[in-house]
Chain A
Amino acid sequence: AQSVSQHNHHVILSEAASLELGCNYSYGGTVNLFWYVQYPGQHLQLLLKYFSGDPLVKGIKGFEAEFIKSKFSFNLRKPSVQWSDTAEYFCAVNVNKAAGNKLTFGGGTRVLVKP
């Protein structure tokens, strides 16, 4: 079965700092990769996803992620964070097979951006 690990449970940084959140998955086959965000008091929302093509994926709100197949990684980045980026971020994977595409999530990273 596939699994997802997120290296940092909590990240604290100041506005305008750069953000990088690590995500590694374990599965040898073809996968689709996702980053979801949960702002305080809100539901999970998709930031970006990768399923094929250019391994550098751009999402909403200035976020991007790079799929490195050889490292089984899909790290999330933002060059300059804002206070409004305070949220919990979840990496997720689904296995590229015909029967079902349930998501397997990492444990999440809580990001606090200090104004």
Chain B
Amino acid sequence: DTGVSQNPRHKITKRGQNVTFRCDPISEHNRLYWYRQTLGQGPEFLTYFQNEAQLEKSRLLSDRFSAERPKGSFSTLEIQRTEQGDSAMYLCASSPGLAISDTQYFGPGTRLTVL
């Protein structure tokens, strides 16, 4: 399977702990996106990368959140000092980045539960 992969698929943590998620995009896709989805809602944009450059961040991305994409391949999303409100599904998507009408291909997501 050469789709977008995310690890771990599930993460349970205690409030105040740090967590890190990984996303591996489709090979040679230049753009990588992070979204967050809470129960009963559609995904909400968090941030995106064009190769290794982080070009846009949502106001949803507080100072406790940081994302990286070293070398323009995989990406990590870290949440520091987790809060119960951070419980959500974190989705990663990638696209070729060649055209505005590009399709974004989504991974299976990482479900975070903060106790």
Binding site for B on A (CB under 8 A): 4, 9, 32, 34, 36, 42-46, 49, 51-52, 90, 92, 94, 96-108
- Chain B residues in 8 Å Cβ range of A103: 33, 35, 43, 45, 104
Interface string of B37-66 (1 = CB under 8 A from A): 000111111001000000110000000000
A sample of 5 more A-B contacts (CB under 8 A), given A44-B43, A90-B42, A103-B104, is A44-B106, A49-B101, A96-B100, A101-B31, A102-B45
Whether A99 lies near B106 (C-beta < 8 A) is no
Partner of B91, one of A44, A46, A96, A97: A44
Contact residue range for chain B? Answer: 20 to 34
B41 with A51: CB separation less than 8 A: no
The answer to whether the Cβ of B109 comes within 8 Å of any Cβ in the partner chain is yes
| A residues less than 8 Å from B4 (CB atoms) | 43
Q: What is the CB-to-nearest-CB distance from A112 to chain B, in angstroms, rounded to a whole number?
A: 15
- Which residue among A90, A105, A106 has the maximum number of chain B CB atoms within 10 Å of its CB? A105
Most buried by A among B44, B45, B95, B104: B104
Least CB separation from A46: chain B residue: B103
- Which residues on A sit within 8 Å (CB–CB) of B102? 101
Complex contact A43–B109 (CB within 8 A):
yes
Q: Within the complex, what minimum Cβ distance (angstroms) separates B49 from chain A?
A: 10
Closest 6 CB pairs of A and B: A105-B42, A51-B101, A44-B106, A102-B45, A43-B108, A105-B43
Do A43 and B106 have beta carbons less than 8 Å apart?
yes
Q: How far is the CA of A108 from the CA of B95 in the complex (A)?
A: 22
> Within 8 Å CB of A34, what residues of B?
103
A106 and B44 CA atoms in complex are apart in Å by 9
CB proximity of B77 to chain A, nearest CB, Å: 15
A90-B43, A108-B42 given as contacts; is B100 within 8 A of A102 (CB)?
A: no
Name B43's closest neighbour in chain A (CB-CB).
Answer: A105
26 contacts between A and B (CB under 8 A): A9-B40, A32-B101, A42-B108, A43-B4, A43-B107, A44-B43, A44-B93, A46-B103, A52-B101, A90-B42, A90-B43, A92-B42, A98-B100, A99-B56, A100-B56, A101-B31, A101-B102, A102-B33, A102-B56, A103-B33, A103-B45, A103-B104, A105-B44, A107-B41, A107-B42, A108-B41
